[in-house]
Structure 1
Amino acid sequence: MNESKTSTRTTAETQSSAAVVSVCCGARLHFGLLDTAAPFGGVGVMIDQPATEITVSQAPRFSCDGHQSDRVLAIARRLQHSMRWSDLPCCRVTIIEQPSAHSGFGSGTQLSLAVAETLAAFCDVRLPQETLALEIADRGKRSAVGVHGYFHGGLIYEDASSDSTEAPEFGQLNPIHRRIELPESWRVVLMIPRSSAPPMHGQDEQTQFDHLAAGDPQRQARLREMLSTELLPAAHSHDFPAFANAVQRYNHESGLLFVSSQGGPYNGAEVASLVASLTQSGAVGVGQSSWGPGIFAWCDSLDSAQSLCEFVETHWQDQLSNLMIASVRNTARSIHHSTSTSS
């Protein structure tokens, strides 16, 4: 049953027949923004690791344990306010799996969207995806790559509409300009340096953007040209060498928008050094995801990804806190309803 925003029914009356609702989603690699000011724009791709999994189950009252309980409670309260409920939903939110925060893989957006959608589904509430993202999850107000990726998967290029360079109205997501499914055989090697510059997030991130000047128009033009003539055509044609080269060049060029905050195209000396070492050793499609410190390198197969991991472990194992292989996720998050609480 659809729930309208004018509902004043209690939460006990709004719960669905499902005893458990679960959502599982992947992570977001961000290749870089097009500008430091609205409408920003940018490109990235969804991957299957590190994963996030949330369950919501029946309970006498609302509860969530763990270090993300404040975030989860805030999302639940926004849903309660949006639906004009008198109480929070009677359920328990359990975070089954989540990646380390502030590594550059969009974990905050994926977690918030998963919690928002799972709570809404548990309460049998159907809201537009944009409402879930902006109003309930409180995400997507700068970069929309992770939001669109959560709902659609694949490579996402988001920007202002193709016939306008104006920013969307306040409270709107940048639309998807182009979505491309990449070959399932491609892999990404993910690395997180053990030592790196402090991660940028929350109010610190907003402060950095507040002090950044709008990007150089010539750099913006180069970034859009790279996308339209190199990166997107290579992705569409599944031309791995051209794609990897374009991703690395675009990532470096976009990083130069943030020199005043990062000290260079990458966030700190440790990330810059590892990117340079990987490139000099023959790795391709190397870059920093978002603010980092997460680093990626593209491979055309699982075998080549495993070989790269072995090489990295031999040469830089002591410099890394995490090393993994991810696949492209061309599909949306998965959502499952169960009428039984048994496992």
Structure 2
Amino acid sequence: MQLHVRRLPPDATVTVDAPARLHLGFLDPNASLGRAFGSVGLVIDGGGTRIEARLAERDQIDGALTEAERERIAICLARLHAAYDPTPVAIEVIRTPRAHTGLGSGTQLALAVGVAFVRLLDHSATPAELAVLLARGARSGIGVLGFEAGGLLVDGGPAKGLHSSLPPLLARQPFPESWRVLLVSDTARVGLHGEAERRGLAALAPFPQALAAHLCHLVLMQILPGAAEADIVPFARGLTQLQQTIGEYFAPVQGGVFASPDVERALRAVAAQCTAGIGQSSWGPTGFAIVASEYDAACALAAAGDATRGMPHIECTVVAGRNRGAEVRRAALRAQRRAHAV
């Protein structure tokens, strides 16, 4: 999606709502079949990021964010200024998920800032171009692709030697409207990130070629067809198998198939009671159970709650899938239209 509009008036505010995503698994973590990673992911309607941007006398960064997030936004703004425009802007973070919990908050935040910046200052850039500039999507393109279009996504992993491009979109399947996603998160933990993540990936044994082929088969012949036909049985079976396989591979680094034993306890209880595709998003600690209806989601929520009773650090919520990308609004333009209508 090309981002280009007339430069906004000085009092304009650009608001960007960027959706969260679940990373459902890698297909080939170390290129046993010739191409590394390859990802499956789902954009969800909950846990997203909202920012507001306006022109200012100097760069400002305010709102609901940590000091580390503030520093990352400052780096984003420095790169945007260098690439496009020195004009100062003020960024206010209205909401963003807790960092390093498996919801893709880093990419959401960076792209939201980038899109708001170019919209505010009348420059042309696609989310993919902004992602490369802001150093997002190096291993997985799910966050960037989801920002653009939403839905259930498969990317092809990064091409060797192409450090200035994102993993290509291979498939986008609309997520069934009636399906629901139970999110289970451990608020006492964060997932691997930064240098610890890089060391962890480097320490892993080679991923067997036969397992990579098996994961690709699960995606092509169970997960995507199940979503296309709104048939939860093959979808759940294929996704749970994929997650179990990739979780066992990452277990030496993250301490088990799931990063949080309590999240795993909740999701195993859900799977014992209803048809659900269960797993962990990225490095966790957020886990998920995808079910076929609101009724099944209520049953899953009850099962997870029973399994984690007395564990206040475990949070459970139900969300829908999201078949659209980020939303961008321009407050000053709306106010002008209302004035003309009077």
TM over 0.5: yes
Matches within 5 A, 1:301-320: 301-319=293-311, 320=313
Displacement after TM superposition at 1:283 (Å): 5.5
1:73 aligned partner: 74
Amino acid at match of 1:287: G
Amino acid at match of 1:145: I
Per-residue CA shift, 1:172-209, capped at 9, x if unaligned?
Answer: 1110111000111111010112455x520122212222
Displacement after TM superposition at 1:233 (Å): 1.2
Matches within 5 A, 1:257-336: 257-282=249-274, 284-319=276-311, 320-336=313-329
2:42 aligned partner: 45
Q: Which sits farther off after the overlay, 256-265 or 185-194?
A: 256-265
CA contact (8 A) 2:139 2:157 kept: no
Aligned counterpart in structure 1 of residue 90 of structure 2, from 74, 89, 92: 92
Displacement after TM superposition at 1:171 (Å): 1.9
Distance (whole Å) between structure 2 residues aligned to residue 184 and residue 281 of structure 1: 22
Aligned counterpart in structure 1 of residue 22 of structure 2, from 18, 29, 43: 29
The 1:334–1:168 alpha-carbon spacing in structure 2 relative to 1, beyond 3 Å, is farther
2:126 aligned partner: 128
Count how many residue pairs are aligned between Structure 1 and Structure 2.
Answer: 323
Amino acid at match of 2:132: L
Structure 1 stretches of 4+ with a deviation exceeding 4 A read none
2:53 aligned partner: 56
Amino acid at match of 1:327: A
Aligned counterpart in structure 2 of residue 172 of structure 1, from 133, 146, 165: 165
Where 1:188 maps in the other structure, the secondary structure is: strand
Per-residue CA shift, 1:296-340, capped at 9, x if unaligned?
Answer: 111212232123223333442433432111111000111111217
Amino acid at match of 1:121: R
2:178 aligned partner: 185
Where 2:243 maps in the other structure, the secondary structure is: helix
Q: Which sits farther off after the overlay, 40-49 or 228-237?
A: 228-237
Task: Name the % identity.
Answer: 29
CA contact (8 A) 2:100 2:193 kept: yes
2:140 aligned partner: 143
Where 1:327 maps in the other structure, the secondary structure is: strand
TM-score when normalising by structure 2 = 0.87
1:9 aligned partner: none
CA contact (8 A) 2:184 2:263 kept: no
Distance (whole Å) between structure 1 residues aligned to residue 266 and residue 228 of structure 2: 29
2:217 aligned partner: 225
Where 1:318 maps in the other structure, the secondary structure is: coil
Where 2:274 maps in the other structure, the secondary structure is: coil
Where 1:205 maps in the other structure, the secondary structure is: helix
Aligned counterpart in structure 1 of residue 152 of structure 2, from 151, 155, 166: 155
The 1:317–1:340 alpha-carbon spacing in structure 2 relative to 1, beyond 3 Å, is farther
TM-score when normalising by structure 1 = 0.86
The 1:312–1:213 alpha-carbon spacing in structure 2 relative to 1, beyond 3 Å, is closer
Structure 1 unaligned residues grouped into runs of 5+: 5-13
Distance (whole Å) between structure 2 residues aligned to residue 296 and residue 144 of structure 1: 20
The 1:200–1:135 alpha-carbon spacing in structure 2 relative to 1, beyond 3 Å, is same
2:338 aligned partner: none
Root-mean-square deviation (CA), in Å? 2.5
CA contact (8 A) 2:27 2:215 kept: yes
Distance (whole Å) between structure 1 residues aligned to residue 103 and residue 123 of structure 2: 29
The 1:257–1:226 alpha-carbon spacing in structure 2 relative to 1, beyond 3 Å, is same
Distance (whole Å) between structure 1 residues aligned to residue 275 and residue 224 of structure 2: 21
Distance (whole Å) between structure 2 residues aligned to residue 27 and residue 275 of structure 1: 20
Distance (whole Å) between structure 1 residues aligned to residue 232 and residue 29 of structure 2: 29
The 1:269–1:140 alpha-carbon spacing in structure 2 relative to 1, beyond 3 Å, is same
Displacement after TM superposition at 1:268 (Å): 4.5
Displacement after TM superposition at 1:269 (Å): 3.3
Displacement after TM superposition at 1:3 (Å): 11
Displacement after TM superposition at 1:341 (Å): 10
Amino acid at match of 1:80: H
Distance (whole Å) between structure 2 residues aligned to residue 160 and residue 168 of structure 1: 12
Distance (whole Å) between structure 2 residues aligned to residue 153 and residue 224 of structure 1: 21
Structure 2 unaligned residues grouped into runs of 5+: 336-342
Distance (whole Å) between structure 1 residues aligned to residue 80 and residue 7 of structure 2: 13
Displacement after TM superposition at 1:212 (Å): 2.7
CA contact (8 A) 2:236 2:275 kept: no
